[in-house]
């Protein structure tokens, strides 16, 4: 019951439950008499007694209760608005509360009449200046909320509240209360997590624009209430992918600026979408995407992100009926972008998105999706079964009772909650039918709803697979997977059985590692939680704990996983079983090679006692012996289920019991190993061979090296080099001497931790030897890919590949080269630069400011030196040897790097067409290269980015440390082909014997820090030096070549025969002297040729003018 107002206090007091309503009957003048009694009462209690008497009179014949309302509502509304009498306003609110609390339970048909006819007035009562009136109004609202069933909360209450909030004549206090009620219904739906949540989720399409409008109300109180209501509504989404962006999305609604819109679209485009997209998600995102598509201020980049998000959301909508409800709002904008976008790439993406939307709105066989059962259809079925007399047509039609019942029934049908239909029909039809007829009609409506739903949509039950009925199924997950701009898997199933070892196969970028990472992070829909199934993800990664001991690292990892009770003895024994014993067990994480880091990850998984092992490229960096150990471990532990991503075909052949293959964004299962898979799917042969059938790499040709006329002449060498790591007790490399030429195809071979990567880092300048020297040709450009490919890009994961390339080379210097140890100035170097030198030319000591030029001088170079505090006319030419002897080797090396870069990049510009073509030559799709952030790329794609960056300055020498890691077989074949055709030198480290055997003609075997050279038995792949390489010395520099190691000594390296290498300039013949007439004729020819070039199509190369043309 409503509360009672004590005459002496403004506090609203609940009435006594023992009050007995009067037993008077309703007469023609009774309503007026009862209202007079209510308004003339001496106290709030008296008003309440009179109000309850009024309700008793109305309920004396529940069948005609509604007949009283036309005479009741107008005088009540007039009293509620009486500005002169606070008592009448209070009494009116008491009557409303009594009606809600006593009439609705006994006459449910009055729900819709009271909601539509009185609730707006009660909400306006919250704006009254009298506290008792506001309290009475609030009590009436709370009574209404508590009495309504779930269907009525949405169909009745929420829809009336939406009309009120949008109304221009509503009070702002009432709008605040209405928004609070909407949020209250949403919170109730979230806690119920059933029918009400689903119905409210579908209602979001209408609710969100209304609540968003409230965010822009002039009253701050309304705006704040709208934000809170939107936050509550957002909890209905049940989509973890979008949930973390809710604050950003709400900010975009409350502050709809260009900047907030761009941020929201960008965040969505960088999200890994996994969960199925349903009506609530579409309701929230559709207005945002619609605004982005239609706004003239949206940039081309944001439009691209928008259409990609639209396409991927569409692919994750499982129900074509839901797609049909929302996508027509987005289609016109996408179609407009397809027709009018400035960039061809954006138009192409919009075309694909539009095609996906059209397909999504059709069922599997391509036919149009059937419409959901409508409210009109339900009402028609009700009318056909209910004989409505003339006296009852008004309440059925004009007062909307028939529509109200039909709307509730329709919500039950859409939710397929057919058992709820009788509760939405029977109690309301009792007014129109007698005896058992309401139940009969309700049963008929329920039967019709079931049959009609089945006819239109089927039952959706698939066939049961009994192939593995005698095995233990541990995973059966139905899901979709996408990464913002890339759809990976859609509407597919992951089924795993205990003890099986599954090889996950697909092209680079198909989503293999993303799938396993989603599983490990607990984000894959339907996959058992870690409490149900112990899952461990073993991937190759850079570890931050470089200074931590091995045992300490394992202990920390176990504690984070909740396994802190494992003893240190067990940890040590497990580490020993995988080879960590003796001196190696005492190493820090940072001292381990790539292979030993992978074995450390496997030891961690063993200690976690994983039931499911997720292995991402487990054989990367493992030598042959360790690969064999891993095979034996996996095959011997039949209680462990493994999901393996690997490009090592022999490894997959040896361990796999099943192959899961990516086909048309689905997971397709094949019994047997990789060989068995290839027999059934011949196109899978790409996993065995290194032939690039559909992928091709093309490396740019290197430029000429001054004075190098033979491809076999050494261009870089190390002599008697010894290197010991700071905390090690013995050298990693001892007394190593080696050299490389333009024709070199060298494979460095050795076990894990033998020193292969150390040797390469010494050659490239990553590290400086303690003994011996490393020398190179002054103009040599070296392209280098480190063992940890992420090492090159890990500080730029937020950039796209294109942006990374532009950042790295934009300043005319390679920013990554500047970070190497051999380029960093020590305190001694800085002190030396401040020290004046005396050349003995009589001008006294001077301090070097910079090197500004270089020219050939005898067997070496001399450099134009600018002196500090002196004019350029006092510049001096100083030989390279003199500068090096005086401690300026790094200054000389920096200048040499800049000069070599100018030669390599003479014809290269950092513009979009050039960058797109360069990445496509390395096998990376230009759309990914230009628009996707590096952090979201697969391992194989990141390797391609690193290779492309290394090859941009047209290097003479390419050094690849474990290039086969993360690349699929087709990409490996493409890389092998490109290396064979490359006209410069190649030095590579790889445990892939097939890859090495096809490419190397020389092997450097490293064991225990010593190196032994062997010539391969394969064909000699030495090349003669090409004479047609593009090179333009002295051209403007737009970027800098990759690492070239600095030298602390003379750079006169030797050729392969030990002979001193003289970089002599090529002698030019005597120029022909032209007569005056011949010169004039030549000038005419050149001018005509230039005019012809100006009229040629764009992109035609400019013809060169040569001095020797006659």
Q: For 139-143, 485-489, 935-939, which range has the lowest pLDDT when averaged over its residues? A: 485-489
Let me know if 935 is exposed, middle or buried by CB neighbors in 10 A (0-12, 13-18, 19+): middle
Q: What pLDDT is attached to residue 174?
A: 92
Above 60 in pLDDT, residue 737?
A: yes
Which whole-number Å values give the CA distances from 274 to 382, 490, 532, 888, 931, in the listed order? 42, 9, 20, 57, 21
Q: What pLDDT is attached to residue 179?
A: 94
738 forms bridges with which residues in the sheet? 718
Distance in angstroms (rounded) separating the CA atoms of residues 56 and 26: 9
Distance in angstroms (rounded) separating the CA atoms of residues 672 and 670: 6
Among candidate residues 361, 305, 304, 372, the one with its CA nearest the CA of residue 331 = 361
Residues 130-141: what's their mean pLDDT?
Answer: 90
Distance in angstroms (rounded) separating the CA atoms of residues 520 and 504: 16
Distance in angstroms (rounded) separating the CA atoms of residues 214 and 216: 5
Place of tokens 């997720």: 614
Strands 771-776 and 714-723: antiparallel
Q: What pLDDT is attached to residue 1016?
A: 56
Q: What pLDDT is attached to residue 458?
A: 56
Residues 460-474: what's their mean pLDDT?
Answer: 57
| Band of pLDDT at residue 1017, cut at 50, 70 and 90 | very low
Residues 920-929: what's their mean pLDDT?
Answer: 85
Above 60 in pLDDT, residue 1000?
A: yes
Tokens linked to 932: 């996707």
Other C-beta atoms within 10 Å of 387: how many? 10
Average pLDDT over the chain, rounded to an integer: 78
Which whole-number Å values give the CA distances from 441 to 109, 376, 407, 438, in the listed order? 16, 17, 16, 5
Residues 596-615: what's their mean pLDDT?
Answer: 84
Element (H, E) at 876: strand 876-879
DSSP assignment string, 486-555: EEEEEEEEEEEETT-EEEEE--TTSSHHHHHHHHHTT-STTPPPTTTS-EEEE-----S-TTSBHHHHHH
| Band of pLDDT at residue 463, cut at 50, 70 and 90 | very low
For residue range 391-448, list pLDDT tens digits in order.
566 777 767 788 888 889 998 888 878 888 888 888 888 777 776 788 888 899 899 9
Q: What pLDDT is attached to residue 500?
A: 93
For residue range 337-372, list pLDDT tens digits in order.
988 888 888 888 889 888 888 887 775 545 566 778
Residues 158-180: what's their mean pLDDT?
Answer: 91
For residue range 638-652, list pLDDT tens digits in order.
889 999 988 778 888
Q: What pLDDT is attached to residue 540?
A: 58
| Band of pLDDT at residue 180, cut at 50, 70 and 90 | very high
Length of the chain: 1110
For residue range 1039-1048, list pLDDT tens digits in order.
323 333 333 3
CB–CB of 966/932 below 8 Å?
no
For residue range 533-556, list pLDDT tens digits in order.
888 888 755 545 556 788 888 888
Q: What pLDDT is attached to residue 50?
A: 85
Distance in angstroms (rounded) separating the CA atoms of residues 974 and 694: 9
For residue range 608-620, list pLDDT tens digits in order.
888 899 988 888 7
Among candidate residues 901, 888, 885, 959, the one with its CA nearest the CA of residue 778 = 901
Distance in angstroms (rounded) separating the CA atoms of residues 880 and 590: 37
pLDDT above 70: percentage of residues in the chain: 81
Residues 88-105: what's their mean pLDDT?
Answer: 88
Distance in angstroms (rounded) separating the CA atoms of residues 784 and 797: 19
Element (H, E) at 208: helix 195-215
Instruction: Please give the residue that has the higher pLDDT: either 827 or 145.
Output: 145
Distance in angstroms (rounded) separating the CA atoms of residues 803 and 1031: 26
483 forms bridges with which residues in the sheet? 486
DSSP assignment string, 1050-1068: ----B-TTS-B---PPPPP
Instruction: Please give the residue that has the higher pLDDT: either 474 or 818.
Output: 474
pLDDT above 90: percentage of residues in the chain: 7
Instruction: Please give the residue that has the higher pLDDT: either 891 or 564.
Output: 891
Residues 1046-1068: what's their mean pLDDT?
Answer: 42
Above 60 in pLDDT, residue 1059?
A: no
Above 60 in pLDDT, residue 739?
A: yes
Let me know if 182 is exposed, middle or buried by CB neighbors in 10 A (0-12, 13-18, 19+): buried
Above 50 in pLDDT, residue 1058?
A: no
Residues 68-95: what's their mean pLDDT?
Answer: 85
CB–CB of 990/963 below 8 Å?
yes
| Band of pLDDT at residue 460, cut at 50, 70 and 90 | very low
Above 70 in pLDDT, residue 16?
A: no
Contacts of 217 (CB under 8 A, 6+ apart): 172, 175, 223, 226
Distance in angstroms (rounded) separating the CA atoms of residues 691 and 694: 9
Above 70 in pLDDT, residue 1055?
A: no
CB–CB of 412/421 below 8 Å?
yes
Q: What pLDDT is attached to residue 721?
A: 92
| Band of pLDDT at residue 791, cut at 50, 70 and 90 | low
Q: What pLDDT is attached to residue 11?
A: 38
Residues 514-522: what's their mean pLDDT?
Answer: 86
Above 70 in pLDDT, residue 4?
A: no
| Band of pLDDT at residue 906, cut at 50, 70 and 90 | low
Tokens linked to 342: 């400035």
Distance in angstroms (rounded) separating the CA atoms of residues 504 and 956: 37
Report the SS3 class of residue 407: helix
| Band of pLDDT at residue 222, cut at 50, 70 and 90 | very high
Above 60 in pLDDT, residue 6?
A: no
The pTM is what? 0.51
* CA end-to-end span of the chain: 113
Above 90 in pLDDT, residue 181?
A: yes
């Amino acid at each position: 019951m409503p509360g009672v107002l004590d005459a002496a206090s403004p506090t609203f007091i609940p009435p006594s439950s023992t009050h007995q309503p009067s037993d008077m009957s309703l007469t023609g003048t009774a309503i007026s008499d009862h209202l007079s009694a209510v308004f003339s009462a001496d106290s709030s209690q008296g008003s309440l007694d009179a109000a309850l008497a009024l309700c008793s009179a109305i309920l004396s014949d529940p069948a005609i209760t509604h007949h009283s309302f036309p005479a009741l509502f107008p005088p009540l509304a007039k009293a509620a608005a009486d500005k002169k009498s606070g008592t009448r306003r209070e009494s009116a609110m008491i009557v409303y509360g009594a009606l809600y609390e006593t009439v609705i339970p006994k006459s449910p048909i009055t729900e819709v009449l009271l909601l539509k006819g009185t609730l707006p007035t009660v909400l306006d009562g919250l704006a009254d200046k009298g506290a008792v009136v506001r309290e009475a109004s609030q009590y009436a609202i709370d009574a209404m909320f508590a009495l309504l069933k779930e269907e009525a909360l949405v169909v009745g209450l929420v829809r009336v509240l939406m009309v009120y909030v949008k109304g221009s004549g509503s009070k702002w206090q009432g709008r605040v209360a209405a928004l609070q009620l909407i949020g209250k219904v949403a919170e109730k739906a979230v806690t119920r997590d059933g029918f009400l949540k689903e119905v409210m989720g579908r209602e979001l399409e209408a609710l969100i624009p209304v609540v968003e409008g409230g965010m822009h109300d002039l009253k701050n109180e309304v705006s704040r209430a709208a934000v809170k209501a939107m936050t509550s509504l957002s909890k209905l989404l049940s989509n973890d992918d979008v949930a973390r962006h809710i604050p950003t999305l709400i900010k975009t609604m409350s502050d709809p600026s260009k900047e907030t819109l761009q941020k929201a679209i960008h965040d969505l485009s960088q999200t890994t979408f996994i969960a199925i997209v349903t009506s609530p998600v579409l309701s929230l995102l559709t207005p945002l995407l619609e605004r982005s598509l239609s706004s003239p201020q949206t940039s081309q980049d944001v439009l691209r992100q928008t259409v990609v998000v639209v396409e991927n959301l569409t692919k994750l909508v499982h129900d074509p009926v839901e797609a049909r409800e929302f996508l027509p709002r987005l289609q016109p904008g996408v179609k407009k972008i397809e027709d009018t976008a400035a960039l061809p790439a954006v138009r192409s993406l919009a075309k694909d998105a539009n095609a996906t939307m059209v397909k999504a709105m059709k069922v599997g066989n391509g036919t149009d999706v059937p419409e959901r059962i409508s409210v009109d259809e339900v009402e028609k079925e009700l009318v056909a079964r209910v004989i409505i007399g003339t006296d009852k047509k008004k309440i059925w039609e004009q007062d909307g009772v028939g529509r109200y019942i039909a709307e509730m029934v329709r919500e039950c049908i859409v939710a397929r909650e057919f058992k709820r239909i009788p509760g939405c029909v029977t109690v309301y039809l009792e007014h129109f039918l007698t005896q058992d007829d309401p139940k009969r009609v309700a049963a008929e409506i329920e039967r019709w709803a079931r049959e009609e739903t089945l006819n239109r949509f089927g039952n959706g039950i698939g066939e049961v697979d009994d192939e593995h009925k005698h095995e233990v199924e541990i995973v059966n997950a139905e899901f979709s997977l996408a990464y913002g701009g890339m759809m990976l898997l859609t509407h597919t199933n992951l089924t795993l059985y205990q003890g099986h070892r599954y090889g996950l196969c697909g092209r680079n970028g198909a989503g293999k590692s993303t799938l396993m990472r989603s599983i490990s992070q607990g984000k894959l829909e339907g996959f058992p939680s870690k409490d149900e199934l112990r899952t461990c993800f073993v991937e190759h990664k850079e570890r931050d704990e470089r200074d931590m001991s091995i045992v300490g690292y394992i202990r920390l990892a176990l504690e984070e996983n909740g396994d802190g009770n494992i003893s240190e003895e067990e940890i040590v024994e497990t580490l020993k079983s995988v080879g960590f014993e003796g001196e190696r067990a005492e190493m820090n994480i940072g001292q381990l090679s790539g292979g030993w880091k992978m074995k450390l990850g496997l030891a961690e998984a063993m200690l976690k006692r994983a039931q499911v092992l997720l292995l991402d490229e487990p054989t990367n960096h493992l030598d042959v012996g360790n690969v064999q150990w891993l095979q034996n471990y996996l095959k011997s532990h039949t209680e462990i289920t493994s999901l393996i991503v690997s490009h090592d075909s022999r490894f997959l052949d040896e361990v796999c019991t099943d192959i899961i293959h990516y086909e048309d964004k689905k997971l397709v299962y094949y019994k047997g190993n990789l060989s068995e898979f290839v027999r059934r799917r011949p196109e899978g042969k790409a996993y065995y061979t290194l032939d690039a059938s559909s992928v091709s790499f093309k490396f740019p040709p290197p430029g000429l090296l001054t004075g190098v006329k033979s491809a076999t002449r050494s261009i870089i060498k190390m002599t008697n080099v010894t290197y010991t790591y700071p905390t090690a007790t013995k050298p990693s490399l001892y007394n190593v001497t080696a050299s490389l030429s333009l024709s070199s195809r060298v494979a460095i071979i050795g076990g894990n931790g033998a020193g292969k990567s150390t040797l390469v880092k010494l050659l490239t300048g990553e590290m400086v030897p303690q003994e011996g020297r490393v020398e190179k040709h002054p103009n040599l450009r070296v392209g280098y890919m480190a063992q940890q490919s992420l090492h090159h890009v890990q500080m730029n994961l937020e950039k796209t590949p294109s942006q990374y390339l532009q950042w790295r080379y934009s300043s005319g210097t390679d920013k990554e080269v500047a970070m190497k140890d051999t380029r960093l100035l020590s305190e001694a170097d800085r002190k030396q630069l401040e020290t004046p030198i005396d050349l003995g030319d009589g001008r006294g000591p001077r301090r070097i400011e910079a090197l500004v030029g270089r020219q050939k001088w005898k067997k070496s170079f001399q450099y134009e030196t600018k002196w500090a505090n002196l004019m350029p006319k006092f510049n001096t030419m100083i030989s390279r040897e003199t500068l090096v002897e005086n401690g300026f080797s790094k200054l000389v090396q920096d200048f040499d790097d800049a000069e070599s870069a100018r030669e390599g990049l003479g014809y290269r510009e950092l513009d979009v067409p050039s960058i797109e073509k360069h990445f496509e030559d390395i096998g990376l799709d230009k759309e990914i290269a230009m628009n996707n952030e590096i952090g979201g790329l697969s391992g194989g794609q990141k390797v391609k980015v690193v290779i492309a960056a290394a090859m941009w300055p047209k290097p003479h020498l390419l050094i690849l440390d474990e290039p086969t890691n993360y690349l699929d077989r087709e990409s490996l074949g493409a890389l092998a082909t490109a290396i064979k055709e490359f006209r410069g030198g190649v030095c590579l480290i790889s445990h892939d014997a097939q890859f090495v055997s096809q490419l190397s003609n020389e092997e450097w075997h490293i064991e225990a820090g010593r190196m032994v050279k062997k010539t391969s038995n394969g064909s000699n792949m030495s090349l003669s030096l090409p004479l047609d390489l593009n090179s333009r010395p002295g051209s403007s520099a737009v970027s800098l070549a990759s690492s070239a190691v600095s030298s602390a000594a003379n750079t006169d390296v030797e050729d392969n025969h030990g002979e001193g290498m003289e970089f002599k300039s090529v002698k030019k013949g005597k120029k022909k002297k032209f007569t005056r007439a011949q010169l004039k004729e030549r000038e005419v020819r050149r001018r005509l040729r230039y005019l012809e070039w100006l009229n040629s199509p764009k992109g035609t190369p400019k013809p060169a003018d040569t001095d020797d043309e006659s």
